[in-house]
Amino acid sequence: MTPSPLYRIMDASLNRCCEGLRVLEDMLRFVPEDVALSKALKNLRHSIRKETAALASRAVKARDSENDPGFVISQNGPPGKRSGMADVAVANCKRVQEALRSLEEQAAALSMPELCLFFESCRFQVYGLEKRILETLIPEIRRNILNTDIYAITASEHSRGRSNIDVVRQMMDADIRLVQYREKDKSLRQKYEECKEIRKITKDYGASFVVNDDADLALMVGADGVHIGQDDWPVSAVRELVGETMAIGLSTHSPEQAAAALASGADYIGVGPIFETRTKKDVCDPVGFTYLEHVVKNIPLPFVAIGGIKVHNIHEVAKRGARCICLVTEITGAEDIGGKTKEIRNILSKKGRLT
């Protein structure tokens, strides 16, 4: 390949890199007003411009924007959509990292070893900055909502005649720190009254509260999260409704759905049903351990394993990498919820998952 096309690639990559850094710099400057991060991004952008000044003057001569096929592809593709500021940040961090990797490879092809090492160093700086940016932009509850072992779900028809309020109180006393409200057959008023009380209880115990399906209800009661399914509103639409502070979970049943969830900006995914379950109506066939193992190895999102998980099989789920596990009737249907929770945690502890 002659040098000219390589310089054309470097010109496009340099522009993409510095444009992405400028977007991030402005975002950190004006949204959280983080002076340190904004300054770090600005310094990196200036450093890249300085170190590539000679290269840029040659690269721009190879520019041919009018005949760039990428422009045609972009113009004829779907319109760009972002579900919030965190989504914008992720997209631009990836843009910068990918551009720097491309610059690194082209510098190697042009026998520019010092620039090659410089671009590699910049890329690793951006990896570190990305973590700091997301920690700044994404509220702690969204990042850490699955930092617990048991994900409990209400199920009034499987609660031995006890109310959801009573069951949730017993869950809290058992040190369960994440509860989802899932009641399909109650009236809107009943759901609202129960969720309002459960929100108060969970807040008193320092626990997280998620509402299933209903983003409006989650907003009304001040829930920490809303969990949606594949046939519900898309994550981007829900994010527009609930804002930046509420976590959004999405049920997934296949590698394709998990990849789409990652791209959509979901904060966590449900992985299942692992086993056959009758707790939820209209549920799909069990996905088994193959899909669970795929998520563990390939999807960098927090996840909760769900579906048909009981005391007798939870160890099989845990040993395959599930750190947060959902149990429904095993807990709501237990005569002694505290005792059942201890039994579950003893099993997990024996698998080396809890200390």
Of 223-232, 281-290, 299-308, 336-345, which range is least confident? 281-290
Asked if pLDDT for residue 345 goes beyond 80, the answer is yes
Same domain, residue pair 115 and 164: no
**3 state DSSP class of 243:** coil
pLDDT of 353 > 70? The answer is no
Element (H, E) at 269: strand 268-271
Residue-level pLDDT at 2: 53
Residue 125 sits in the same domain as residue 208: no
Task: Tell whether 45 and 120 lie within a shared domain.
Answer: yes
> Under a CB-based contact definition with an 8 Å cutoff, are residues 270 and 250 in contact?
yes
Predicted local distance difference test score (pLDDT) of residue 87: 78
- In contact, 94 and 8? CB cutoff 8 Å: no
Whether residues 159 and 100 share a domain: the answer is: no
Q: Is 71 a residue whose pLDDT tops 90?
A: no
Amino acid 96: pLDDT: 98
Domain check: are 127 and 186 in the same one? no
Residue ranges of the binding site: 180-184, 212-213, 232, 251, 277-280, 308, 328-329
- Single residue among 138, 168, 202 that ends a domain in this structure: 138
d(CA 95, CA 130): 11
Contacts of residue 79, defined as CB under 8 A and 6 or more positions apart, other chains included, come to: none
Question: Between 229 and 31, where is the model more confident?
Answer: 229
Show which of 109, 138, 167 is a domain's final residue. Answer: 138
b/e for 223-250, b at 16 or more Cβ within 10 A?
bbbbbbbeebebbbebbeebeeebbbbb
Q: Assess whether 294 and 333 both reside in one domain.
A: yes
My answer on whether 124 and 234 are in the same domain is no
* 12 and 155, same domain (yes or no): no
Residue at which a domain ends, from 97, 115, 138: 138
> Hunting for tokens 């700091």 — which residue is that?
132
Distance CA 57, CA 51 (A): 12
Domain count, the chain: 2
pLDDT at 272: 96
Say what percent of the chain tops pLDDT 90.
Answer: 79
As beta bridge partners, residue 83 has none
For residues 70 and 117, state if they share a domain: yes
Decide: residue 86, CB within 10 A, 0-12 exposed, 13-18 middle, 19+ buried: buried
> Is residue 355 assigned to a domain?
no
Are 125 and 192 contained in the same domain? no
Domain that holds residue 124: 3-138
pTM: 0.71
Tokens of 304: 């909760």
**Phi/psi of residue 271, nearest 5 degrees:** -115, 110
The domain that holds 276 is classified in CATH as: 3.20.20.70
Q: What confidence tens digit (pLDDT) does each residue in 147-192 have?
A: 999 999 999 999 999 999 999 999 999 999 999 999 989 999 999 9
Cis peptide bond upstream of 273, omega within 30: yes
**pLDDT value at residue 72:** 65
Q: Is residue 346 part of a domain?
A: yes
Question: In angstroms, rounded to a whole number, what is the distance separating the alpha carbons of residues 106 and 92?
Answer: 21
As a whole number of angstroms, the distance between CA 335 and CA 162 comes to 10
Residue 102, domain member (yes or no): yes
Q: Are residues 164 and 263 in the same domain?
A: yes
3-state secondary structure 218-232: HHHHCCCEEEECCCC
d(CA 351, CA 345): 10
Binding residues for Mg(2+): 213, 232
66: confidence class by pLDDT, cuts 50, 70, 90:
confident
pLDDT for residue 293: 97
pLDDT at 59 over 80: yes
Model confidence band, residue 98 (pLDDT cutoffs 50, 70, 90): very high
pLDDT at 86: 78
Pairing of strands 178-181, 208-212: parallel
Mean pLDDT throughout 113-132? 96
Q: For residue 31, what pLDDT band results from cuts at 50, 70 and 90?
A: confident
Please state, for a pLDDT cut of 70, what percent of the chain lies above it: 93
